[in-house]
Structure 1
């Protein structure tokens, strides 16, 4: 879970104050975002099923599957798709992971 949170933080840091147009013209940032999404995807595959069941608002299959798309079909992934994913979709995942991590840490303190 911490890998997911860290990757999301890095993706957000790469995109801070950046417009879609600027992102589309910056292949280096696109690569960084792609790598972050790949890490998120792979890490999501290792989360326990009960955690995923507690967070049904997250499309877990799509989260896991986007990594395959990036690895095998990367030349066809539009920058706008990565942009939307980073801007609109990662915040829900980050919120769920932070909540689960806090609950896990709380249980560990008892």
Structure 2
């Protein structure tokens, strides 16, 4: 079943906002020591990853600089390789990958992408 792109983008932005709020004023040490925080952030990243799978290819093509395949694959890594994911990897995703993804999603929203 095809999902409405507007709703999917809103879900992704909501999870990114949740991560930003949850991580505000947190250090790497805070993140490593707070299991609840880490699990919540990892779950939010999984949701972003899964939601990205519901965006149509033509919409993704509007934001070619975003590594959509990596975003889609991150959920699988968190689900199946969780025992090998270091907190530094998650922090890199938060600081390096989520800001450009959020900007791209906001542009797609602003451009008034079509509902599917």
Task: State TM-score, norm by structure 2.
Answer: 0.87
**Residue from 35, 45, 55 that aligns with 2:53:** 45
Which runs of no fewer than 5 residues in structure 1 stay unpaired?
none
Question: In 2, distance between residues paired with 1:46 and 1:85?
Answer: 20
C-alpha RMSD of the superposition = 1.5
Moved over 2 A (4+): none
Match of 1:71 in 2: 79
Match of 2:19 in 1: 11
- What is the number of equivalent residue pairs in this alignment? 107
**Residue from 87, 105, 112 that aligns with 1:97:** 105
Q: Secondary structure at the match of 1:11?
A: helix
Task: State TM-score, norm by structure 1.
Answer: 0.92
Greater share of helix = 1
Which runs of no fewer than 5 residues in structure 2 stay unpaired?
1-8
Match of 2:3 in 1: none
Q: Which deviations, in whole Å up to 9, do the C-alpha atoms of 1:79-102 show, x marking residues without a partner?
A: 111011011210100000011011
**Residue from 92, 95, 111 that aligns with 1:87:** 95
